[in-house]
Structure 1
Amino acid sequence: MPNRRILSLWFPRLGAERLLRMERGTFDAPLAVLRDTGQMQVISSMNAQAEAEGLTLDQPLRDAQAVCPQLIARLQNPQAEAAFLKVLRRWAGKFSPWVAEAPPDGLVIDLTGCTHLFGGEQGLLTQVAQDCGDLGLTVRAGVADTLGAAWALARFASQPGAMVHRSGDDIQQEARATRSRAVKRRHWTRGGTPPLVAAGIADVGRIAPAGQTHSALADLPVAGLRLEGDTQAELARLGLRRIGDLTGQPRAALARRFGKGLVLRLDQALGSAPEPVSPAAVEPTFAVRMTLPEPIGLEDDVWAAIDRLLPPLCERLRKKGKGARVVRLQVFRTDQTMQGIEVGLARASDDPDRLRPLLRMKLDDIDAGFGIDMLRLEVLRLETLHARHTAGHLEARQAAARRVSDAHVIDDLVGRIGARIGLEQITRRHPGASHIPEKAAQTQHAAWSEPWREDWPKPMVARPLLMWRPEPVMAPDTPRLPERFRWRGRDMVATGAAGPERIAPEWWLDEPDWRSGVRDYWRVSCASGEKLWLYFAHGGTMSAGWFCQGSFA
């Protein structure tokens, strides 16, 4: 079996170059992507021009604008950058099927047994550099026997013309050294990002020969071990700045002083501890598209195209045993713009007839513009569909079929109403497992819950039709039901009463409304014709008294 070889790809300008790809020709100036820390905005990524102006990562925006007044700043979009990294992961699948993401700006690839397809490891790096150059991306790579070593080589290895570590040992490098440059030098030796110089195709990365991981890592800073910032700072105070300074130290002493994390990272980088590459699971994509020879703009033409796209999409779902919950329709116009609409179902389905009416309701929101030349239908949210088998005599099968049909009718109704007002606005009631009156029923979203198919549990004593938060009643503070009381500014006269029904609070929960202790509930008929639900609170952490909580029909 060939020796294990790992490739680590690092995209140091991922955030900025993603924006440059989206808006080609727009940014002809230094560009910085900002991360909001809550107290200030700092630079999380920048293009080559901003770096040439002397800006650094994690630099506050005000300091950066003082150094470079013409700086263009954009806020970071972590979700978009993560999605872009997933796209790059699919691209890296051409080199090996074993590809994993190393968030937020890297990939890890297991090259074992694959390098001969590209003319060896150097030929593969050349292909990586050429592809990234075509994509407009800056990349640094490292190849080694372990994941940790490859990660460190990609980010901290010295390579002439690619990434230069200014150590201060070369007198030609520091002949014109200044105080600010010395600070930057100390920054990366303590774990910061080393300065980058534009890399060519030939020197895109560093390759550690098989079996020479120790010598390849010896001169790299301890930041290449992926340590915590506090651990790096403590190592720097002790003069342990290079990985080679740690390899000769007793492991037991290192573990006692810095914890097991340092020893584990060191062993993983050197190959003493295993660190597998876990490839990301392939996400199933269910989408169909139609490219039109001539642009269309009529609603009937768009509907005809959708009607042809739905059957093959649902057939793919049916073969995989999946159902669609959210579907998006994208229309691409001739002026290179796109518009999308989304519809949601109350229950996952692979039936085209249940999707057609929902999409039909949304067609009015589509603006054809100068014409539509492509349509794409994609399932955004999937659920597994479980096959239902009916058994028994003929009447049982027919009853089961009727129940399934009725359920589909309700689900379709919820889906149609949800397309207008939103699925989150439609709710249903389920019984609750509590003897507290206001918790006897719970509200659930209709689209994400099953209807209650059993008999609704009935309380021993009737409950009011309308129920509200307890309202104070002006009456003597005695458990005996008063004949006259005042409620909502009105004088009420009791003509009849039934009760009491004693309800105790749930002692294992702290309910603010039930801090008044045990309650005695009464159904009181008033001379005005109202039938109220009164209770007397015996008092707990709150004072005793009479309250009104509901009204009977």
Structure 2
Amino acid sequence: MFASVHVAGSRRSRSLSGDQFSKDFLSLARYFSPRLEMVDARTVVLDVTGLRGMWGSPRAFGAAVQRKAIEQGIHCRVALAATRVAAVLSAYGRTDVLTVIKPGREATAIATLPLDILARVANFGLQGNAATPVEVRNRNVSRMIKIFQRWGLATLGDLAALPRDALFSRFGTEGVMWQKCACGEESQPLVPTPENRLFEVALDLEWPVEGFEPLASGLRPMLESLVLQLSREGAAAAVLTVRLWLVTRVWYTRTLQLPAPICDSRMLCTLLVLDLKSHPPPAGIDRVVVTVIPAPTRITQFSLFEKAIPSIEQLSTLL
């Protein structure tokens, strides 16, 4: 079961910047499910499979989303269906604040929606070549919709009623995917939008530190904690930033752009200390804050018949 949330209007969207509103909207969606995919800046689809025990029936889940959104000043439409495409199309095209489509009734529920609504979900509901520029894909979408309209098709139901083999002979697999989308059928799986988590640890020192040895002894457990958090997320450090609050009441900041994602606390500590030795802070340190920008870890397939060689991360660090 999938739930699509489409923001029709919001007091917050008018008072906040676009980036801040998107963050608040994503936070609202993640409150209900960690698996979600952004369709556009105002539409998200949630995977709510297995959440019935927590939120109750699909209608109860939709009502809970509505209540939470209203608390945050967001006015939205919620649609639940067995497929992502049917849920998103219903959230876009229907005026009801809450729509629940029974499994197997997707094509009937969206049949009356206008055909040109497919342009809003083409990049989401139709499988295509990701390497194709967005402008080219948009032109292809407009071209296909114009062709269908010249045929006299006006609604999704009209497109769904066409013989599928005839569409395949005329347009190939592209025509079949268009009809599947009009029927509310899936053509590709949900691609979760990654969560931009902030990996950060801080340490307040009991007394000002000026030497590198005591600083390194404080950095080691901090980096071990960060590496543990990263490993749980299947990530590694791509950018490492240390901020030092000096006794002169100013921040001293150093940022390391790592040559490859690293998930080794000792290596990170060594690199950080070497950088600070090359660029020492001008005064004693009262507080240390370490922040990491993550990146996916490398998955290495080792061979049983070849001699092991150093990893890319180790080679990059040594060179």
Q: TM bucket by the smaller chain? A: 0.5 to 0.7
SS in 2 for 1:267: helix
Residue identity matched to 1:355: L
Higher relative contact order (CA 8 A, sep 6+): 2
SS in 1 for 2:176: helix
Q: Is the 8 A contact 1:148 1:265 kept in 2?
A: no
| Counterpart mapping for 1:347-358 below 5 A | 348=262, 350-351=265-266, 352-358=269-275
Sequence identity of aligned pairs in percent? 19
| CA distances 1:448-496 after superposition (whole Å, capped 9, x unpaired) | 5875xxxxxxxxxxxxxxxxxxxxxxxxxxxxxxxxxxxxxxxxxxxxx
**Following TM superposition, by how much is the alpha carbon of 1:354 offset from its aligned partner in structure 2, in angstroms?**
3.4
Judged with a 3 Å threshold, the aligned counterparts in structure 2 of structure 1 residues 126 and 258 are, in CA distance, closer, same or farther, namely same
| Counterpart mapping for 1:113-512 below 5 A | 113-159=50-96, 203=97, 205-225=98-118, 226-227=121-122, 228-257=141-170, 259-270=172-183, 275-280=188-193, 287-290=199-202, 308-314=218-224, 316-317=226-227, 320=231, 324=237, 326-330=239-243, 341-345=254-258, 348=262, 350-351=265-266, 352-359=269-276, 364=281, 375-380=289-294, 448=316
CA distance in 1, matches of 2:163, 2:50: 36
CA distance in 2, matches of 1:248, 1:358: 66
Q: Is the 8 A contact 1:290 1:309 kept in 2?
A: no
Residue identity matched to 2:199: A
**Following TM superposition, by how much is the alpha carbon of 1:157 offset from its aligned partner in structure 2, in angstroms?**
1.2
CA distance in 2, matches of 1:241, 1:385: 49
Judged with a 3 Å threshold, the aligned counterparts in structure 2 of structure 1 residues 269 and 365 are, in CA distance, closer, same or farther, namely farther
| CA distances 1:241-262 after superposition (whole Å, capped 9, x unpaired) | 1112223232334444555424
CA distance in 2, matches of 1:158, 1:308: 57
SS in 2 for 1:10: strand
SS in 2 for 1:139: strand
**Following TM superposition, by how much is the alpha carbon of 1:150 offset from its aligned partner in structure 2, in angstroms?**
0.8
Residue identity matched to 2:99: R
**Following TM superposition, by how much is the alpha carbon of 1:142 offset from its aligned partner in structure 2, in angstroms?**
1.8
Q: In the alignment, which residue of structure 1 is the partner of 2:136? A: none
Judged with a 3 Å threshold, the aligned counterparts in structure 2 of structure 1 residues 94 and 20 are, in CA distance, closer, same or farther, namely same
Normalising by structure 1, we get a TM-score of 0.39
SS in 1 for 2:174: helix
Q: Is the 8 A contact 1:289 1:309 kept in 2?
A: no
Normalising by structure 2, we get a TM-score of 0.62
CA distance in 1, matches of 2:152, 2:48: 36
Judged with a 3 Å threshold, the aligned counterparts in structure 2 of structure 1 residues 121 and 21 are, in CA distance, closer, same or farther, namely same
SS in 1 for 2:32: coil
Residue identity matched to 1:8: S
Q: Is the 8 A contact 2:200 2:292 kept in 1?
A: yes
CA distance in 1, matches of 2:282, 2:9: 38
**Following TM superposition, by how much is the alpha carbon of 1:97 offset from its aligned partner in structure 2, in angstroms?**
4.5
Judged with a 3 Å threshold, the aligned counterparts in structure 2 of structure 1 residues 271 and 318 are, in CA distance, closer, same or farther, namely closer
Q: Is the 8 A contact 2:201 2:226 kept in 1?
A: no
| CA distances 1:5-46 after superposition (whole Å, capped 9, x unpaired) | 2112234679x93x8445xxxxxxxxxx7xxxxxxxxxxxxx
Residue identity matched to 2:145: Q
Which of 45, 50, 53 matches 1:108? 45
**Following TM superposition, by how much is the alpha carbon of 1:155 offset from its aligned partner in structure 2, in angstroms?**
0.8
Judged with a 3 Å threshold, the aligned counterparts in structure 2 of structure 1 residues 158 and 385 are, in CA distance, closer, same or farther, namely closer
Judged with a 3 Å threshold, the aligned counterparts in structure 2 of structure 1 residues 310 and 98 are, in CA distance, closer, same or farther, namely same
CA distance in 1, matches of 2:194, 2:58: 26
Judged with a 3 Å threshold, the aligned counterparts in structure 2 of structure 1 residues 323 and 210 are, in CA distance, closer, same or farther, namely closer
**Following TM superposition, by how much is the alpha carbon of 1:311 offset from its aligned partner in structure 2, in angstroms?**
2.1
SS in 1 for 2:255: strand
Q: Is the 8 A contact 2:5 2:76 kept in 1?
A: yes
SS in 2 for 1:241: coil
CA RMSD of aligned residues (A): 4.9
SS in 2 for 1:101: strand
Residue identity matched to 1:10: H
SS in 1 for 2:45: strand
Between the two proteins, the alignment pairs up a number of residues equal to 275
CA distance in 2, matches of 1:115, 1:141: 16
Q: In the alignment, which residue of structure 1 is the partner of 2:5? A: 9
Judged with a 3 Å threshold, the aligned counterparts in structure 2 of structure 1 residues 261 and 129 are, in CA distance, closer, same or farther, namely same
**Following TM superposition, by how much is the alpha carbon of 1:149 offset from its aligned partner in structure 2, in angstroms?**
0.8
Q: Is the 8 A contact 1:291 1:375 kept in 2?
A: yes
CA distance in 2, matches of 1:365, 1:105: 47
Q: Is the 8 A contact 1:322 1:385 kept in 2?
A: no
Q: In the alignment, which residue of structure 2 is the partner of 1:433? A: none
CA distance in 1, matches of 2:276, 2:256: 7
**Following TM superposition, by how much is the alpha carbon of 1:126 offset from its aligned partner in structure 2, in angstroms?**
2.6
CA distance in 1, matches of 2:181, 2:80: 15
SS in 2 for 1:108: strand
Judged with a 3 Å threshold, the aligned counterparts in structure 2 of structure 1 residues 156 and 93 are, in CA distance, closer, same or farther, namely same
Q: Name structure 1 gaps, 5 residues minimum.
A: 23-32, 34-79, 160-202, 333-337, 387-403, 405-410, 412-446, 452-553
CA distance in 2, matches of 1:136, 1:300: 49
| Counterpart mapping for 1:17-32 below 5 A | 17=13, 20-21=15-16
